[in-house]
Amino acid sequence: MNDLYAIEFETRKQSPLWWHNKASDLFASAGALHSTMDAEQNVAEELGFPSGFCMSVACNPVYEMLFGMSFEALLKAICVVKKKPAPATHNLNNLANTAEVKLSETEVEVFKCLTECVIWSGRYPVPKKKEYLEQHWKHGNGLFFYKIPSSGVVQFKLANDVLAWDNLSNTWRKLSKVFFEHYT
């Protein structure tokens, strides 16, 4: 008798659409969370949180984690559709290299950050080592802000919204297009 679990496991592991569908589910979930963060006061009240509870602060790391997980599944879908095994890694830049997709310099930097969000920042208050926290913060400080020219001692910065919905969803759709170019 055939092992139905083994058959289903191999079918899902080797089916690019299973991978892409999971990526789409995570993408949609990141979008739902983003919408919640935009309507934060109403949602916070509906959920019974006290006045002053900030949904955007509470949910942002999880939004970034979901987006990172979505990119991870999407890049693995591209690997599978190209007849390559989906590597057992969360490193989005390594996955992009394996999937042979071209990323801009900004996308490479964003993927470094989102990899950390998948591994620990979206789930835990602290990574396994102090050095990882320091590296993540320093990288984010350079990635998330524009420096405003200043002649004084104080350095001013302006947020650049590099992890905003529009920016991340444009990259996601670009990679999804790559998937479907190879799927059809």
pLDDT score of 146 = 79
Claim: this prediction has a pTM higher than 0.85? yes
pLDDT at 120 over 90: yes
pLDDT score of 147 = 78
Q: Report yes or no: 65 and 122 within 8 Å, Cβ to Cβ.
A: yes
Side chain identity at 165, as an amino acid letter? W
Question: From CA 57, how far away is CA 42, in angstroms rounded?
Answer: 15
Q: Report yes or no: 131 and 110 within 8 Å, Cβ to Cβ.
A: no
pLDDT at 154 over 70: yes
pLDDT at 2 over 90: no
pLDDT at 95 over 80: yes
Residue 180: how many CA atoms within 13 Å on its side-chain side?
Answer: 7
Tens-place pLDDT, residues 36-64: 887 767 888 888 999 888 888 999 999 99
Q: How confident is the model over 129-133, as a mean pLDDT?
A: 94
pLDDT at 1 over 60: no
pLDDT score of 178 = 98
pLDDT score of 142 = 86
Backbone angles phi, psi at 146, to 5 degrees: -95, 135
Q: Report yes or no: 34 and 63 within 8 Å, Cβ to Cβ.
A: yes
